[in-house]
Amino acid sequence: MLINEFLLYAALAGAAVYGLSYWMTKKDKGLAGLITAVLAFIVVVFIFPGAGNAENLSDIFSNLTLLIQKGIYLVGWFAGAFAVSKLIP
C-alpha cells in the first residue's frame, strides 16, 4: 500500500511543480518541463529512500527493489506533469 500512496504523492507533486513552473515562466511549456524534470530527479534521488551497502543476496534484492520503486516514482511524477501539460491550453 505504501507504494500506491507515494505514487499518488509523486503524481500530485509533479502536477503541482509543472503547473507552478508553467505559471512562473509566463506560459513556456519547454522551460516548465525542464524545471519539472530537474526537480523530479533531485527529489527522487536525494529525498526518497535509497539503497545501502549489500552484505548478502537479500540486501542486493532489497536495493534493486528500492531502485525500481524510485523509477516508479519518477514515472508517477512525470505522469502528473504530463497530465497538467495536456490540460493547459
Q: For the segment 22-57, what is each residue's pLDDT rounded down to a tens digit?
A: 999 888 888 988 999 999 988 888 887 777 787 888
Long-range contacts formed by 2-11: CB under 8 A, 24+ apart: 3/69, 3/72, 6/48, 6/69, 6/73, 6/76, 7/72, 7/73, 7/76, 8/76, 10/44, 10/73, 10/74, 10/76, 10/77, 10/80, 11/76, 11/77, 11/79, 11/80, 11/83
Is the whole model's pTM more than 0.85, yes or no?
A: no
Q: Hey, where are the domains in the chain?
A: 2-87
For residue 1, the model assigns a pLDDT of 58
Taking alpha carbons only, the member of 87, 86, 66, 79 closest to residue 9 is 79
